[in-house]
Amino acid sequence: MRIITFLIFALVGPTVGASSVTSEAPVALIFDSATPLPGEVATALHQEVESIFRETGYSFHWVNRSEMKAGDSFPDLIVIRIKSTCGEIDVRPPAVSKRHAALAWAHVSEGDMLPFIEIDCARLGRMLRAAGFGDSALSQRQVMGKALGRVLAHELYHVLTGNTQHAHSGVAQPALSPAHLTTSTLTFTARELSLLTRRSYAARQTQQSAPTLSEEPVFESGR
């Protein structure tokens, strides 16, 4: 976790400032995972997130940390740490742990959202499997990618708006069930769309001072 924190500072630190943040540049989503996402999972994930954010003005640049080169620079970035593998829908029973019951979480420091999201893919896979989703390996990966996209969209909402509140329905509701994660479409409500203006993140980035990382999961996409 401290390594990730350093990565955030290394990339954000030199570029934070009013003159460095553009209002139209895509937000780089930097995936930090032990193994790259399978192609079908990544494709479904990208499509789902881009579909959910289509009306917001945000666009995203998808980056694998393992493929980054020295000198890479991103004016706006969010690091997504993937815990465990995201390939198949796991058949093992879920481990019992209250503290780590969340599928994903973002971090705050002194009330400010940090550009750092963690997602527990194994837990997501077990949740989907228990609900009976995914027959073939291909459909499993497509279901996983779509669900992963919705979990990520929920956390991106918190980070991009700096808003810790939840909605009564849609992507930003406090808990996403297997049905929410696999239904044909799941969108933000009008209120969240109004908060997700492209300016919200850029404006906050110019004001952000060097934070310290919270060790606690604070926002949960599902249990």
* Contact footprint for Zn ion (CB under 5 A): 219
38 DSSP assignment = P
Nearest approach, Cβ of residue 115 and Zn ion (Å): 16
Contacts of 120 (CB under 8 A, 6+ apart): 83, 84, 100, 102, 103, 104
User: Given the structure tokens 């009008």, which residue do they identify?
Assistant: 190
Nearest approach, Cβ of residue 100 and Zn ion (Å): 16
Nearest approach, Cβ of residue 158 and Zn ion (Å): 6
- At 105, give phi and psi (nearest 5°): -160, 155
Considering the complex, state which of residue 40 and residue 118 has its C-beta at the smaller distance from Zn ion: 118
Sign of the CA dihedral running 35, 38, 43, 44? negative
Considering the complex, state which of residue 42 and residue 156 has its C-beta at the smaller distance from Zn ion: 156
Nearest approach, Cβ of residue 136 and Zn ion (Å): 32
Tokens (6 digits) for 28: 């780089």
Considering the complex, state which of residue 89 and residue 152 has its C-beta at the smaller distance from Zn ion: 152
Burial of 104 (0-12, 13-18, 19+ CB in 10 A): buried
Nearest approach, Cβ of residue 23 and Zn ion (Å): 25
- Closest residue to Zn ion, based on beta-carbon distance: 219
Considering the complex, state which of residue 76 and residue 192 has its C-beta at the smaller distance from Zn ion: 192
Considering the complex, state which of residue 142 and residue 173 has its C-beta at the smaller distance from Zn ion: 173
To the nearest 10 degrees (0 to 180), the angle between helices 121-130 and 137-161 is: 130
